[in-house]
Amino acid sequence: MPDRRSFLTLLGGAGLAWPRSVEALASRWSGGGAPGDDAFWQDVRAAFLIPHDRIYLNNGTLGPSPRVVVDAVEEHGRRVAATFPPGVAWDDLKGGLARLVGGDPQGFVFPRNTTEAMNFVAHGIELDAGDEVLTTDHEHIGGLEPWRLVTARKGATLRVASLPVPARDASQLADAVWEQVSDRTRVVCVSHVTFTTGTTLPIAELDRRCRAAGILLAVDGAHPPGMLDLDLSTVGGDFYASSPHKWLLAPQGTGLLYLTDPWRTRLWPTLASGGWDDLSLGAHRLNHMGTMDESRLAGLLSAIAFFEGLGMERVEARVRHLRRRLQTGLRALPATFIASSDAEELACAMVSFRIDGVDSLDLQAHLSRRANVRTRVIGEYDYGWMRLSTHVYNSEADVDRVLDLLHDAVRTGVPAR
Ligand SMILES: Cc1ncc(COP(=O)(O)O)c(C=O)c1O
């Protein structure tokens, strides 16, 4: 952490000299950063464009890019406009990702989001009439609808396992999914971390069971990259779909699909362009999608470097610290149901809850009006929970302010929106 004096020097007289390169940020953040070191994390917050009076607790929907990422996108766009298109630094991108989230660099494909990635999987495997695809009642439309479409079209069946809320432990979750497996199940598709409650599903255990039964496992990993200190080479699953524009804070429209080895040459491409059938290209066949917005990949490269500078271990510890503070505070609220698990092995950086007698959408509008708080209400499946996400730009003060407002809401209620 810089002392106050060097901080002011860095800011410069006009306040304009905030480090604009990821290298400068990485060296600035080389020491400190314990989970409760709020001064360090305030310095991290200053690398963002989020207005100082906004409490953004909806990273689960979209991650706000730090300034260095916005700059990288803009710079790329300028070079394209100057008719000097730099192209995509594929090797840097795949190598950087493999360092940050694990996995083999050869396995990465770059669609626009989890939805597109999961469509690539659902449309790219063979599925016959009578086959079953098993999912859960905590899947997001982005991970679910591709399977609904493909099963409807092929005369296959979509089955839905019901997950416990709040979940007690990993084996309870694995069993809840596995109870619905039949001898017709061809694919299991589940979230790594659910969008509904931020619960981490036991992917490694499901992977073990699926392999033994000859079932494919497709993982909706929209959330973990940039949130958890992840290793894609051990997490499990045949396919891992994600959205770096969430926790990895990459530009909007930056997706990720990780293919395990046999599928790099086996998956049918959904979009065909030159080389789609050249198996020597492996997974890269699927990156041939015609002209695309390369600037978002320049932004992703910058986002990867930003997180490498912070270190994923430090990031995960901090985002968990803030979520624990939030969840502990929520537990002290009367008449409040917490849908997220209490077990640290199942929890991460999102917590969902409902206050008895308070409509969560009314509460959302109230928090927004009172303190510019951004939240997400999980209306899907009629759950009606408010979800709060904690990321590196949040502070303990953000959490405490929201808890104070929630205490007031319990005491006095909130106006209808
Ligand atoms: C678990 C999960 N899957 C998929 C999606 C869809 O993501 P995208 O819109 O980036 O495709 C989301 C978005 O919130 C999500 O939470």
pLDDT over 50 (residue 85): yes
Q: In terms of residues, how long is the chain?
A: 417
| 246 CA → ligand 1 middle, Å | 9
pLDDT over 80 (residue 10): no
| 97 CA → ligand 1 middle, Å | 19
Cα–Cα dist 64/43, whole Å? 16
Contact between 341 and 331 (Cβ < 8 Å): no
Q: Which residues line ligand 1 (CB under 6 A)?
A: 61, 113-115, 140, 142-143, 191, 195, 220, 222, 243
pLDDT in tens, 214-266: 999 999 999 999 999 999 999 999 999 999 999 999 999 999 999 999 999 99
| Mean pLDDT score, 87-95 | 95
pLDDT over 70 (residue 405): yes
Angle among Cα 277, 278, 282 to the nearest 5 degrees reads 105
| 377 CA → ligand 1 middle, Å | 14
Ligand 1: which atom is nearest the Cα of residue 116? Answer: 11
| 116 CA → ligand 1 middle, Å | 10
Cα–Cα dist 77/56, whole Å? 28
Bridge partners, 351 (sequence order):
388
Ligand 1: which atom is nearest the Cα of residue 255? Answer: 10
Cα distance between the two ends of the chain: 43
Q: What is the DSSP letter of 157?
A: E
pLDDT in tens, 275-289: 999 999 999 999 999
| 92 CA → ligand 1 middle, Å | 26
Contact between 296 and 253 (Cβ < 8 Å): yes
Contact between 44 and 2 (Cβ < 8 Å): no
| 243 CA → ligand 1 middle, Å | 7
Number of H-type helices and E-type strands within the chain: 14, 13
Cα–Cα dist 83/78, whole Å? 9
What Cα–Cα distance (Å) separates residue 417 from each residue in 172, 329, 378? 38, 25, 17
Q: 0.85 cut: is pTM over it?
A: yes
pLDDT in tens, 32-76: 999 999 999 999 999 999 999 999 999 999 999 999 999 999 999
Sheet containing 336-338: order of strands: 336-338, 350-355, 385-389, 376-378
Cα–Cα dist 22/39, whole Å? 20
Going by alpha carbons, the residue nearest to atom 4 of ligand 1 is 142
Cα–Cα dist 286/182, whole Å? 32
In sequence order, the 6+-apart residues with CB closer than 8 A to the CB of 189 are 118, 133, 134, 135, 139, 143, 144, 147, 217, 218, 219, 220
Going by alpha carbons, the residue nearest to atom 10 of ligand 1 is 113
- pLDDT-derived band at 331, boundaries 50, 70, 90: very high
All domains of the chain, ordered by start, with CATH?
A: 4-64+312-412 (3.90.1150.10), 90-306 (3.40.640.10)
Give the tokens for residue 154: 């092929």
